[in-house]
Copies of this chain bind each other. A is one copy, B any other.
Amino acid sequence: MNKEFIASEMQALQSRITDRLELIDGLAKFSVDKWDREEGGGGITKIIQKGDLIEKGGVAFSAVHGPVSEVMNKQLGLKGDSFFATGVSIVLHPNNSHVPIIHMNVRYFELNTGEFWFGGGIDLTPHYIIPSQAQLFHQGLKTICDKYDKAFYPKFKTWADEYFFIPHRNETRGIGGIFFDHQDLDSGLSKEQLFNFCIELGDNFTVLYNQQAELGRELSYTEDELSWRNLRRGRYVEFNLVNDRGTKFGLLSGGRTESILMSLPANASWEYNKKVAPNSKEEFTLNSLKKGVNWID
- Chain A interface residues (CB < 8 Å from chain B): 31, 33, 45, 47, 49, 56, 58, 167-169, 230, 234, 237-238, 241-242, 248, 251, 257-258, 260-262, 264-273
Contacts and interface: CB of A to CB of B under 8 A. Distances in A.
B241 A258 contact: no
Contacts of A273: 33, 47, 258
B33 A234 contact: no
A270 B47 CA distance: 13
A168 B267 contact: no
Nearest to A255: B168
Contact of A267 (B47, B58, B264, B267): B267
**Count of identical protomers in the assembly:** 2
Contacts of A234: 264
A272 B30 CA distance: 12
B267 A268 contact: yes
Contacts of A49: 271-272
A267 B265 contact: no
B266 A261 contact: no
A274 B212 CA distance: 30
Contacts of A242: 241-242, 248, 251
A29 to B, nearest CB: 14
Contact of A269 (B168, B257, B266): B266
Contact of A230 (B264, B267, B270): B267
